[in-house]
Amino acid sequence: MASIRETAEQFFAACETGKGWEVCAQYCHAGATFAAQAETLTGVDTLEAYTEWMQGLLVALEDGRYEVRSFAVDEQRQNVSAFGVFRGTHTGEGGPVPPTGKAAEADYVYVMQFDGAKIRHMTKIWNDGFTLKQLGWA
């Protein structure tokens, strides 16, 4: 059985490269929930919906990529936190406006809460307003 760290790392990589729910589901409980205090993600309340949102984002930001800055496991609370930087340029179709050619560099944190070997909830901490301005979407 994989450790929660290994599962979190595999989920993180699949999510951040736009694999969508088809791949990410194996790391999560059915009905796993999602939360973020980001207006862009209003109404996105399941991990399934979030992974599909990320998949769509990578259509608009064709060169989208991430860099992990920190990965921490809290065994007592059964959660894993990942701090990363996401970079991408709006060159593809999708997004709220036609391609702007503008780039974004966004800091964010995922806190993945585990129940046993799988993720049951994830919170994303992200300043979406800053990112939207960088991309020319706001």
Chain segment 83-135, per-residue pLDDT in tens: 999 999 999 998 899 999 999 999 999 999 999 999 999 999 999 999 999 99
Q: CA separation (Å) from 93 to 15, 44, 56, 90?
A: 20, 21, 10, 8
Average pLDDT over residues 20-48: 98
The pLDDT of residue 113 is 98
Average pLDDT over residues 27-35: 98
Asked if pLDDT for residue 2 goes beyond 90, the answer is no
Which of helix, strand or coil describes residue 92?
Answer: coil
Domain residue limits, the chain: 4-21+31-135
The pLDDT of residue 5 is 97
Q: Would you say 65 and 54 are in contact if contact means Cβ atoms under 8 Å apart?
A: no
CATH match of 4-21+31-135 with 3.40.50.150:
no
